[in-house]
Amino acid sequence: MNCTLYGYYGKQLRVSLNTGEIKTEKIDIDVLKKYIGGVGYGARVLYDELEKGVDPLSTSSKIIFATSPLTANNIPGGGSIMVCFKSPLTQIWGQSRCGGNFGPDLRKAGYDALIIEGISDEPVFLTINNDDVSLQPANYLKEKTVTEKTALIREALNDAKISVLCIGPAGEMQVKFATLMVEHRAAGRCGGGAVMGSKNLLGIAVKGTRQAPVADPDRLKTAIKNVIGTIRTSETANGYREHGTTGVMGPNDAAGDWPTKNWHANSWGKGEELYDTFFKHHLVKNKGCYRGCPIACGRIADVKSGKFKTPAHEGSEYESLSAFTAFVLNDNIESAIHSTYLCNEYGLDTISAGALIAFAMECYENSILTKEEVSGLDLNWGNPDILPVLVKMMAFREGIGDTLAEGVIKAAEMIGKGAEAHAVHVKGLEGPAHDARASKALAVTYGTANRGMCHIQPVEAVIYDSGKMDYGLMKYGLPDPNDVERWDEKGKGKIVKMLQDALTVPDILNTCKFFMDAGITLEHLADLFSAMTGWELSGQDLMTVGERVLNLQRMFNMREGLRRKDDRLPERVTQRPAFGYYENELQCEINNFERMLDEYYEARNWDPKTGVPSNEKLEQLKLENALPPTKIKVHLYTTLKKYGEGKINENNTIRLPEPLSLQELAVYFNIPDNPGYVYLVNRKPCPKEYIVKDGDIVRIYGVVGGG
């Protein structure tokens, strides 16, 4: 019998910073088969190893760097690392992706995942070179920018090409939306940089010479060739190559998909002009984020002279430039380029940074923040000069920047005076540069995404609704997008469920989602994975894994106390725009979000009142570790049978989220208190104070008349 593990190394590296212990651990193959890798494996580790309510910045917190068998330079879209953690910004599930060579190089070192736990007494960086793994002192790296840290780490290791992931000063200051950076590529959202900073871990350098065995090399070559062939003929891929993500500023503005002035509007009318200026005067060239990318959507940009002079650097993506233009009504593209460059150097999420500045400007406009409270700064809308100043203040927690560094929920609470009304977020994550008033499917994804108001998990919704892209999912029952009106609300809950299940697969496989925009389907990905591992999976199998992972992330959030009330949209996002192209368009209004949510919950088999995945769904997805721990059998007799309807399955089995007394169990079933009722546990009479245990068989008899 061949016991060779293909595509994986079957091991992970665990670094405990409290003690300095570094060890290699085997990974359960059954876990890999269920979760594959990326955010799937990260979700399983965090769900199992983090206690409910853990402080994300404490010694008990952990951060996971996860790969998959497709994390490789020769795999189209394979240059990613997925980072999973409990978010210090939102206090719930946190994940972020970073493109670059770091993920493939971690694989070359021979590891499927890296787990960091504990807190170091002194600043350190981690170096990994195959089996040679060590922690190095890093006091000299403190307060250095990302570019400086990267250069100093490479100099210390005498290796100019080693992959380096690090945090900037914002991570050291534990700014709640600090990033993890691979040069100027960011794992940007949710505050992973703050988690790493809290651990006194300033960077990770990795290289290796290994290669995981491939199950079927010839099939893999053919599968890669098929993907490359699709990319070469894709208009979308060509568009990404020439214009990157930034090229959609004008089209999104025209479509009402460009949040403007802190979401008061969904268009501005300046998107095309701003992009034209960028393209003609500031775009240097395109660049792939990792060696071997056939799309190369990255932008190298600069500002050659003037007060916003900025060196050539990788950045200036759609989300970043939108956050520093439309969000804050700034029509100076040079200021936006410079501000996003500083965000990358300091290690700040550009989306949250721009959103926080927009929030502060609105508070200033409404006299909630006074000039004295912002150190005499001019926070009027559209002021290009203030943007880089506020970026630095947030990164180093200076003045009003210290308040904004906490994220929009906490900042609004600290400012008070009604500031909460101006805080645009879902579950604590500030809104990105796509607007739900352009796509009602996007409303559902914003409300339900596990990490909050996320620009990655919903992007497929707006592309489906407005861009009419089906991602090859019509064979699985997805309606033809050409038959769906973007402003329709009916049916969007069911549509979003399918889109989420399918389009979370790239985050599980560590592949770039833009490749799916360019025509790569689940079948392409399944073929690549099957050839690599020898585990034969179909597109439908990958969707099932996607559904499993999303439900486990959901259970992580449910354990932290989230419920249906948290699946919400900011009120202004549901309202007609105050100005712009669509101010008179009634169809922009989101009128029946709760009905869409009901439809979504039904499609997911989640409790309609609480939003908690049903035990039936968890069992179907084989999420045994997420099921309530106490499983008992309950038999209700005579007049009490009606109380079990919908709560006890056909096997008379029920799972309890926590141990209950017999009296509390009766309350759970809404059985009225009656001293005449008889309680038997395992066929023996028991007092109502008895705490039921896993495996108990409970019988409750109602009052039986007789004569």
3-state secondary structure 219-263: HHHHHHHHHHHHHHCCHHHHHHHHHCCHHHHHHHHHHCCCCECCC
According to CATH, where is 3.10.20.30 located in the chain?
628-701
The 10s digit of each residue's pLDDT in 264-308 is: 999 999 999 999 999 999 999 999 999 999 999 999 999 999 999
The 10s digit of each residue's pLDDT in 29-70 is: 999 999 999 999 999 999 999 999 999 999 999 999 999 999
According to CATH, where is 1.10.569.10 located in the chain?
234-430
Measured from the Cβ of residue 298, the count of other Cβ atoms closer than 10 Å reads 25
Strands (E) across 415-482 are located at 425-426, 429-430
Q: What is the rounded distance in angstroms from the CA atom of residue 509 to the CA atom of residue 345?
A: 29
Q: What is the rounded distance in angstroms from the CA atom of residue 156 to the CA atom of residue 316?
A: 30
pLDDT given for residue 224 in this prediction: 98
The 10s digit of each residue's pLDDT in 132-179 is: 999 999 999 999 999 999 999 999 999 999 999 999 999 999 999 999
**CB 81 within 8 Å of CB 65:** yes
According to CATH, where is 3.60.9.10 located in the chain?
11-207
| Assigned architecture for domain 628-701 | Roll (3.10)
Interacting residues of 621 by C-beta distance below 8 A, sequence separation 6+ = 544, 547, 548, 551
pLDDT given for residue 707 in this prediction: 39
pLDDT given for residue 704 in this prediction: 52
Confidence band, pLDDT 50/70/90 cuts, at residue 456: confident
Cα 122 versus chain centre, distance: 30
* β-bridge partners, 287: 298
Residue bearing tokens 């990302």? 146
pLDDT given for residue 650 in this prediction: 77
Q: What is the rounded distance in angstroms from the CA atom of residue 440 to the CA atom of residue 458?
A: 11
Identity of the residue numbered 199: K
pTM here? Answer: 0.93
Give the mean pLDDT of 613-630: 89
Poorest-confidence range of 6-20, 538-552, 676-690? Answer: 676-690
Query: Does pLDDT of 77 surpass 70?
Result: yes
Quick one: tokens of 379?
A: 């926070």
Query: Does pLDDT of 1 surpass 50?
Result: no
Q: What is the rounded distance in angstroms from the CA atom of residue 186 to the CA atom of residue 86?
A: 18
pLDDT given for residue 706 in this prediction: 43
Identity of the residue numbered 359: F
Measured from the Cβ of residue 572, the count of other Cβ atoms closer than 10 Å reads 18
Q: What is the rounded distance in angstroms from the CA atom of residue 434 to the CA atom of residue 332?
A: 21
Query: Does pLDDT of 657 surpass 80?
Result: no
Average predicted confidence (pLDDT) for the chain? 95
Measured from the Cβ of residue 456, the count of other Cβ atoms closer than 10 Å reads 20
- As a whole-number percent, the residues of the chain with pLDDT over 70 amount to 99
Give the burial string for 627-645 (b: 16+ CB within 10 Å, else e): beebebbbebeeebeebbe
> Considering only CA atoms, which of 119, 164, 120 is closest in space to residue 144?
164
**CA dist list (Å): 689 to 480, 502, 640, 672, 679:** 57, 47, 20, 16, 11
Strands (E) across 553-593 are located at none
Interacting residues of 194 by C-beta distance below 8 A, sequence separation 6+ = 56, 57, 88, 89, 170, 171, 174, 175, 176, 177, 178
> Considering only CA atoms, which of 556, 561, 566, 533 is closest in space to residue 452?
566
Poorest-confidence range of 22-26, 501-505, 629-633? Answer: 629-633
> Considering only CA atoms, which of 107, 288, 65 is closest in space to residue 214?
107
Query: Does pLDDT of 608 surpass 60?
Result: yes
**Most distant CA atoms of the chain, gap in Å:** 101
Q: 234-430 — its CATH code?
A: 1.10.569.10
Report which of residues 446 and 658 the model is more confident about.
446
Give the mean pLDDT of 576-588: 97
Q: What is the rounded distance in angstroms from the CA atom of residue 624 to the CA atom of residue 77?
A: 32
The 10s digit of each residue's pLDDT in 463-474 is: 999 999 999 999
**CB 26 within 8 Å of CB 32:** no
Return the DSSP state at 101: S
Q: What is the DSSP string of 638-678?
A: GGGGGGGTTTS-TTSEEEESS--BHHHHHHHTTPPP-TT-E
**CB 351 within 8 Å of CB 432:** yes
**CB 327 within 8 Å of CB 262:** yes
Measured from the Cβ of residue 211, the count of other Cβ atoms closer than 10 Å reads 11
- As a whole-number percent, the residues of the chain with pLDDT over 90 amount to 89
Q: What is the rounded distance in angstroms from the CA atom of residue 152 to the CA atom of residue 156?
A: 6
Report which of residues 702 and 353 the model is more confident about.
353
Q: 436-521+540-620 — its CATH code?
A: 1.10.599.10
> Considering only CA atoms, which of 76, 6, 49 is closest in space to residue 509?
76
Interacting residues of 323 by C-beta distance below 8 A, sequence separation 6+ = 340, 350, 351, 353, 354, 355, 432, 433
Q: What is the rounded distance in angstroms from the CA atom of residue 291 to the CA atom of residue 103?
A: 11
Strands (E) across 235-350 are located at 283-287, 298-303, 310-314
| Assigned architecture for domain 11-207 | 4-Layer Sandwich (3.60)
pLDDT given for residue 458 in this prediction: 64
The 10s digit of each residue's pLDDT in 193-238 is: 999 999 999 999 999 999 999 999 999 999 999 999 999 999 999 9
Give the mean pLDDT of 487-508: 97
Identity of the residue numbered 4: T
Element (H, E) at 280: helix 271-281
pLDDT given for residue 627 in this prediction: 85
Q: What are phi and psi of 379, to 5 degrees?
A: -100, 30
